[in-house]
Amino acid sequence: KRGGTGDPDPDPTSYLFVTYEEKQKDLAKPYDPKKSCWFPLKEGGYAEGIIEATEGDKVVVKASGEKKVIKKDQVQQVNPPKFERCEDMSNLTYLNEASVLHNLKARYVSKLIYTYS
C-alpha cells in the first residue's frame, strides 16, 4: 500500500514491538504470582498492590504504603512481568479488565500504539 505521495508506508515495527532493553527492564519488576493483584480505585480504574492477608471474603492489600481492606471478588490477578506491554493481549495469562486496561495504557505511554487482539 502506498501513501498519497506515492512513497511506501513507514515501517510500523517501532510502534508495535518492545525493544530487548525495555523488556529486560520490565522483567526486573518485583512480582509474586500469589500476592500481586489489581484492586479497584474509587475514582475509577485499578491500582496494583500486594495481598498481605485474607480474612474470609475480604483481603488486606498494601499499595503505596497504605493498607486497604477490599472484597475478595473485586481483586484481580496481575500478569507476570514477561507480559508487560504485550503486543497480543490474547497471550496474557490473566485476561481480566484490569490487566487489559493496564497493558493498553502502558503501551500507549510507550508509544506502542498498535496491538493484536
Does position 108 have pLDDT exceeding 70, yes or no?
A: yes
* Mean pLDDT across 82-104: 92
Asked if residues 51 and 75 have their Cβ atoms less than 8 Å apart, the reply is yes
According to the model, what pLDDT value does residue 20 have? 87
Residues 6+ apart with CB under 8 A from 84: 18, 23, 26, 29, 103, 106
Burial of 46 (0-12, 13-18, 19+ CB in 10 A): buried
Instruction: Tell me which of 19 and 40 has the higher pLDDT.
Output: 40
Average pLDDT, the chain: 89
The reported pLDDT for the residue numbered 58 is 96
In this prediction, residues 62-83 reach a mean pLDDT of: 94
Among 1-5, 46-50, 89-93, 107-111, the range of highest mean pLDDT: 46-50
Which one, of 40, 37, 35, 38, lies nearest residue 52 by Cα? Answer: 35
User: How much is the pTM?
Assistant: 0.78
